[in-house]
Structure 1
């Protein structure tokens, strides 16, 4: 037991040293992924229980894959998925088996909360076991004379001997501001080496994720489903008449207003309806096997799917009328997940599947979508879509400016198109700024990333480094590259 503790302490020291060497200034660049990969290696190497559990090794492989995403281009989503995978690596050996995503979600929530106190709990436990009879004051008194005396003699010898003075002058102590960073890394890494044993105990008695509606009976379920279907038929009929077929709306309501207002409320409605369907058909309820109740709920779930499809169409129409953004891509992916969740709810009711099956299927679908998004630059994807075949005068250059270097290649292609002088002037400025920022970041070794290197090489091959700079750089500009004439000229 003592040997394994010392091995984990050595692994912790190695992780802190790796962090200290990779990030002399800030937490950025390829070092984020290298630290993540080193962290995974330390956890697997120092914990025998992980190496003897196949499912834990699979989670370690997933953590290594997300560490690879962080190597290519560090981002918050890739880091969050890496942390989830690594937390599963730490906790899976403590569980008999993987039960369901609901319980593991609670465990992942408790892991950082209880993990912050785990280093202090382990130190207290170590002191109780091995240091109960150790007097801290006596240790300080014992070491005081040799340490203070030795330091005094070294200082006197340095004053008398230039060789000793040079040797002492070559010693560089770390700045004091890095000590809190080491403590933070310790608090971050140690729970993955020794997770809190209370996590499994606190989640052992969690109930199954079965939603409940108090006071429901078979008559109330049948009446409710009939009423809900009628209401949803009315809403879906309006969408089919005015959204899908493009019919003329009544006076006072514009197409843009009709499209924009219903996108997110309808998704929320569908999600609430799905939860209610689960609650009305929970195992053991009177409506679970009633034929008419089952027909009505399947019809209601189908209508909810049409509702989500209408919401997605609203979002697509809004994108075509304005522009695509990374968040709108995420919204469409979320709508697809909601639709899949409704289909799974219907299959769960028809096939009599368990709540554990439903939660695990939805969690797997969400994890798959998020994992794909972690490797794709959604901002660059949106920028390329907006630039392709669009009217350059309608492109939101402020958004492309916010995307950063992900919009560099689309901006280069946009600048090469036939543009009026004013639009070309603005595009040139936004493109030049994106190239300049990317070049500065890639020239900094602590912020360098492989994705940035590929993007810079492609931009250079397209002539971005030799293209003309925008005129009047001394004049302050707005986010879209227009000169802000309300501000004075910059003096530099």
Structure 2
């Protein structure tokens, strides 16, 4: 058994022990980032190929940034991004060059799917290598006598010696769920220390990510583009007439229905159009070199951009009528990425760029947007917008309470505005609840975070004497109203 394998086993055990020590009561707080940072250091320590690879250090730097985000404000998105970049650092020394996002997505998929099986498979493989007598059966046979005999003698000594008996009485064996949790942590950590060869092998066999439509000829492409442009022109004309200019709608169709109904289907339409445009004007095809085909596809992409703009307008109209949420911010960002993707498709067709260029450009854009979303509290952003844009009586207090401490500072700002007495009581109750929850988390080391500390400090400065007021102990609904309160 090689020393490097033993070092990786030791690193995995160390990570499990650290997890056990850091998270006795829940996976939260700045300690999540601490675990991620230690995992990063251990990867460099036990993988010499990673430590010597310049490309790997670029990925390690990105993983360190996401580990810092996990320290400041842990969440699912920064954790997933950390794992993805850490896995890239673990795999990239075994890849000749960074090829494209399509193959890297497959590598990460195989790396993730191998998590439950990698460690047991490697232990079995190393146990039976070269007939060294390390198979599970031989290990069990070797340990049977010392384990059984030692246990028997300890039991007898415990019966004869009260001191030994007290030691055994105070020993708390781990519960089955703890053993399962430790096994899960070990399985999660191991593939980074010993990545699967299948992740490299399968990705190398993937075809180029070039959409193809067998049997299409130049006449069929020209006819299809002409028809598509005509259909999209009708849809865009209707949007310009009724959505953008505000003209009256036919009887039975409300403005709200027209604005809300089509936002996401139109985005799906734009995505499908982009794939078709790539397939119809594939580099090297007859249509790609045809001047009219290129003009028609450029016009079609431009019409798709108008379609995306209409989807954005529909979503903002819906936000104006109801409220902004974190998911609606994410939807608007997604629409922006779709629009950028369409522009990149047009540029790729007009400049004869490769599919690899297109995929990598879109992957970089998506990575940047996801990184911003991992850094910014979208719930707090939505809460602040709703407080500023709506009357106090119209603010959805249930949503602000659902946002959590991210809505605390907007709630303090809302409480300082003019409103009726009933609304003020509900606002004050939710603000007090959010403050009490944040204060409790920040006074416990396990849930403490730097962002929470900054937020708590700003809340204390804004509240002044109001900090000392206790939370009303009576049971209330999510909007702060009492069960017997008459709703207006």
Q: TM-score range by the shorter chain?
A: over 0.9
Post-superposition offset of 1:213: 2.1
Post-superposition offset of 1:9: 1.4
Cα distance in 1 for partners of 2:389, 2:236 equals 33
CA 1:451–1:144 in structure 2 vs 1: closer, same or farther (change >3 Å)? closer
Post-superposition offset of 1:254: 1.9
Larger proportion of helix = 2
* Equivalent residue number for residue 490 of structure 1: none
* Equivalent residue number for residue 143 of structure 2: 140
SS of 2:121's equivalent in the other structure is helix
SS of 2:478's equivalent in the other structure is coil
Cα distance in 2 for partners of 1:194, 1:57 equals 17
Cα distance in 1 for partners of 2:482, 2:370 equals 40
* Equivalent residue number for residue 354 of structure 2: 354
Cα distance in 2 for partners of 1:191, 1:449 equals 29
* Equivalent residue number for residue 420 of structure 1: 420
SS of 1:446's equivalent in the other structure is helix
Query: Where does 1:344-383 land on structure 2 (aligned, <5 Å)?
Result: 344-383=344-383
* Equivalent residue number for residue 467 of structure 2: 466
* Equivalent residue number for residue 340 of structure 2: 340
* Equivalent residue number for residue 117 of structure 2: 117
The reply to whether residue 99 of structure 1 matches residue 99 of structure 2 is yes
Post-superposition offset of 1:29: 1.2
* Equivalent residue number for residue 316 of structure 1: 316
Q: TM-score, normalised by structure 1?
A: 0.93
Cα distance in 1 for partners of 2:336, 2:273 equals 16
Post-superposition offset of 1:420: 0.6
Residue by residue, what CA displacement relative to the aligned partner does 1:434-489 show, whole Å, maximum 9, x if unpaired?
A: 11221222222211211111111211222275364565x42x322111112399xx
The reply to whether residue 306 of structure 1 matches residue 306 of structure 2 is yes
Cα distance in 2 for partners of 1:155, 1:165 equals 5
Cα distance in 1 for partners of 2:468, 2:415 equals 10
Conserved 8 A contact 1:77-1:374 = yes
The reply to whether residue 219 of structure 1 matches residue 219 of structure 2 is yes
Post-superposition offset of 1:174: 4.3
Post-superposition offset of 1:247: 2.1
Conserved 8 A contact 2:110-2:198 = no
Structure 2 unaligned runs (5+)? none
* Equivalent residue number for residue 441 of structure 2: 441
Query: Where does 1:470-489 land on structure 2 (aligned, <5 Å)?
Result: 473-474=473-474, 476-485=475-484
* Equivalent residue number for residue 12 of structure 1: 12
Residue by residue, what CA displacement relative to the aligned partner does 1:228-253 show, whole Å, maximum 9, x if unpaired?
A: 11111111112122222222223322
CA 1:216–1:276 in structure 2 vs 1: closer, same or farther (change >3 Å)? same
Structure 1 unaligned runs (5+)? 488-492
Post-superposition offset of 1:179: 1.6
Post-superposition offset of 1:148: 3.0
Cα distance in 2 for partners of 1:445, 1:470 equals 23
Cα distance in 1 for partners of 2:348, 2:75 equals 36
Residue by residue, what CA displacement relative to the aligned partner does 1:371-427 show, whole Å, maximum 9, x if unpaired?
A: 011010000000001111521111111111110111111001101111111111111
| Superposition RMSD in Å | 2.1
